[in-house]
Chains A and B, each alone.
Chain A
Amino acid sequence: MRPQRTLSWRSSAARWAVPALLGLVVAGSRGATPTHAPVIAAPGVANPAHIAAGGRPPPGPVVQNPYRGEPAIAHAGATLFVSMHCSDCHADAAAGAVGPNLGDGRWRYGASDAAVFRSIYYGRPRGMPAFGGLLGAQGVWVLVTYLRSLPPPPDLPTERFTQH
């Protein structure tokens, strides 16, 4: 079930290995896509469906995923998803355990890349830790890119049962 890992992570100097891995991921991504500059600014509106009353979104920075749709980054994100312990709450391939399924194409806090970024960077109130301090903006975008690469299962939203 777990995505195949291309970067092997084998360090007992655990605390310091996390930034090291990130460096590897980001350096690799830079090599592959030199034109992207990392975007550090905080995202703006998290959930556009909720701003109907005001008619238009409040002003805020436009935040875009610098790695959107890049398969190599998504692959690196799969590794990061395991090594940062994401899979221990959200299960292999983000299928959901104590934390929600992140591969069903549905998003509790908004479906934009920026909203997913915000969840990981700042955390969420039901116990999602804030990983921004540990991963930095680039690391979080790598995870966002991985999660957005997961294809929703074909049998949503209807679940049929066959008795035997």
Chain B
Amino acid sequence: MPAGDYAATRYSPLDQIDVANAPRLHPVWSFSTGVLGGHEGQPLVVGDTMYVVTPWPNVLYAFDLGRPGYPLKWKYRPNVSRAAIGAACCDVVNRGAVYADGKIIYNLLDGHTVAVDAATGHPVWETKIASVADGETVTMAPLVIGDRVIVGASGGEFGIYGWIKGLDLATGRVVWTGHNLGPDAGMLIKAGEFHPPYVSGTELGVRSWANGTWKHGGGPVWGWISYDPKRDLLYYGTGNAGPYDAEQRGGDNRWTSSVLARRPEDGTLVWAYQFTPHDSWDYDATGAMVLADLTIGGKPVPALVHFDKNGFAYTLDRSTGRVLVAKPFTHETWAKSIDLATGRPVENPAMQTGDTKGNVKGICPSLEGGVSPASPPAYSPQTHLFYTSTNNFCMDYKVHQIAYIKGTPYMGVSSPYTPGPGGNLGAFIAWDAATGRVVWKDKEPYPSWSGALVTAGDVAFYGTLDGWFKAVDARTGKLLYRFKVGSGVVGAPIAFRGPDGRQYVAIYAGIGGDWALLAGDTSSDDPTDLRAPNPLVKNLASRTSQGGMVWIFGL
């Protein structure tokens, strides 16, 4: 599955590569995907086959790891609509595939989920789940739980009515659709079964939106799903509310920028917690929800840990949704703290935004997030630490009232970025979620946009925007190995045991994911589209360009 396990830990029990021998890592194989664009997500290894999904046009490659040079067994080239490119807010990324029941299942940008026979590459079923005409595109990584394929749609910048769906694994049929906002019935809230920890009442998803604005309120699902078999709950985060002018949608805007817990079989909503009520900064909560059993204050806790775009890392009780720990993991200015009694942020009044507020300066983190939700963290049960990319830059935020025009962006913002304090725009950190503190920090000159991997060899892996793949000591952060993989890294590393019994680590190189940030001058494939350098990420284009590579490293 996309994150290695249902708990989304991105922890590998493989230990052949360890702190002592990691300096001897070297590339053993690479392959060009033939596609430019942000290569987010991760390869998927099942048995002796490695599966790779590209950005639009969402080609699926199956590599034979049992033969020298890892030749392709097959490739699957779906007919994905070009029109979807313009409905993708930021880039035409894909966050990966899942394997179940002999099928590789993944999403196409133009609103389809496909199941492909894992052995032959022949399509088994294809289901239309989303409407590009309504601003819905699909970039997220699906998860299979029992007979259900869990999928969601992007479109928080296009005024969608956000949802998550459960498909039938055998046929692809849509079994249930649960909205993330709006009326209780549409949210699959059933009498007596919905227990949000800090609020009560009915129709919260309507009453927390002035003038029926939930209808185009956003709340997309573009990240990751996790699942707790013992509690039979799936967890996922919802994206920002729209439009960006928060004064147009008075109220808390539930349940955007939230974590929701549902029953996989029928989608019943069990609890929800909102990280950023009345989101006024584009703080999506679509980052991964990592499930870990922690010891907090001497007591064992079934925890859910989430690094939010808003700069706080939250440790929740995953049975109830109550917040146990919430501390900033990067520089932030929008809130003083999170009140554990109410679950609400104690907000800085000077950082409130809206059409009447003018240009509000010095908001940290920026709308790109203290971490991008596209950069999932990892958790090691050996070190009891979480590992994540982080960003350290801020924004000025000027919004204006905006009309809804179907199929066009529903945003209305100008938000130039400025560096955060300390001289680094990013960092890779180790985080203690029981106490809410940074244990070590490896500063990066550019925003850190890759996912994390940690292994039983106590080695953590990540990549950088300027194209370095790095292995570091999971206990100290000391750099053990690095290699220039060409294009910037926005994907997530994985570890696997090859058919030869040896441990390998794979990573994508392919900068992209957000053209508002990642310097359009790293693109050179269109002579009619020349971009100026982005002053925030100075000289990034002197160190990397767009690309699309799969790399495998070994000892």
Contacts and interface: CB of A to CB of B under 8 A. Distances in A.
A18 B84 contact: no
Contact of B411 (A85, A95, A100): A85
25 contacts: A1-B414, A1-B416, A12-B401, A15-B403, A18-B405, A84-B405, A85-B412, A88-B408, A88-B409, A96-B515, A96-B520, A97-B515, A98-B86, A101-B520, A101-B531, A107-B528, A108-B529, A127-B82, A127-B86, A129-B86, A129-B407, A134-B405, A153-B532, A155-B532, A159-B521
Interface in A1-36: 1-2, 9-12, 14-15, 17-18
Given A100-B526, A106-B528, A125 B82 contact: yes
Interface in B395-423: 400-405, 407-414, 416
Nearest to B88: A98
B79 to A, nearest CB: 14
Contacts of B89: 98
A155 B531 CA distance: 11
A60 B505 CA distance: 59
Interface string A69-113: 000000000000011110111011001111111001011100000
Contacts of A161: 539, 541-542
Contact of B402 (A14, A104, A162): A14
A100 B528 contact: yes
B9 to A, nearest CB: 32
The 8 A-B residue pairs with the shortest CB-CB distance in the complex, in nearest-first order: A127-B86, A14-B403, A88-B409, A161-B542, A100-B529, A106-B528, A127-B85, A85-B408
Nearest to B86: A127
Nearest to A127: B86
Contact of A12 (B84, B248, B528): B248
A56 interface: no
A126 B532 contact: no
A156 interface: yes
Contact of A104 (B82, B401, B529): B529
A128 interface: yes
B530 interface: yes
Interface residues of A, number: 45
Contacts, number: 112
B83 interface: yes
A92 B408 CA distance: 16
Chain A: interface secondary structure?
A: loop
A106 B527 contact: yes
Contacts of B82: 125-127
Contacts of B516: 91, 97
B84 A127 contact: yes
A88 B157 contact: yes
**Interface range for B:** 35 or more
A80 B483 CA distance: 47
Contacts of A82: 400, 412
Nearest to B407: A129
Contacts of A159: 521, 533, 541
A11 B408 contact: no
B405 A85 contact: yes
Contacts of B531: 95-96, 101, 104
Counting chain A CB atoms within 10 Å of each CB, the highest count among B84, B404, B410, B414 belongs to B414
Nearest to B411: A88
Nearest to A82: B400
A125 B80 CA distance: 12
B269 to A, nearest CB: 30
Contact of B529 (A11, A14, A96, A129): A96
B90 interface: yes
Interface in A116-155: 125-129, 134, 153, 155
A163 B409 contact: no
Contacts of A54: none
B87 interface: yes
Contacts of B541: 159, 161
B401 A89 contact: no
Given A95-B531, A96-B520, A159-B533, A11 B401 contact: yes
A7 B533 CA distance: 30
A128 B401 contact: no
B408 A129 contact: yes
B25 to A, nearest CB: 28
Nearest to A159: B521
Interface string B494-522: 00000000000000000000011000110
Contacts of A164: 539
Contact of B515 (A98, A126, A127, A153): A98
B91 interface: yes
A82 B414 CA distance: 10
A127 B542 CA distance: 30
A157 interface: yes
A84 B405 CA distance: 8
A126 B248 contact: no
Contacts of B521: 159
Contacts of A128: 86
B131 to A, nearest CB: 14
A37 B402 CA distance: 31
Given A10-B401, A126-B82, 18 more contacts: A11-B403, A14-B402, A14-B404, A18-B405, A82-B412, A83-B402, A84-B408, A85-B405, A85-B411, A87-B414, A91-B516, A95-B532, A99-B86, A101-B530, A106-B529, A107-B528, A108-B529, A127-B83
Given A2-B414, A91-B516, A101-B529, A163 B539 contact: yes
B474 to A, nearest CB: 32
Contacts of B412: 82, 85, 88
Contacts of B405: 18, 84-85, 134
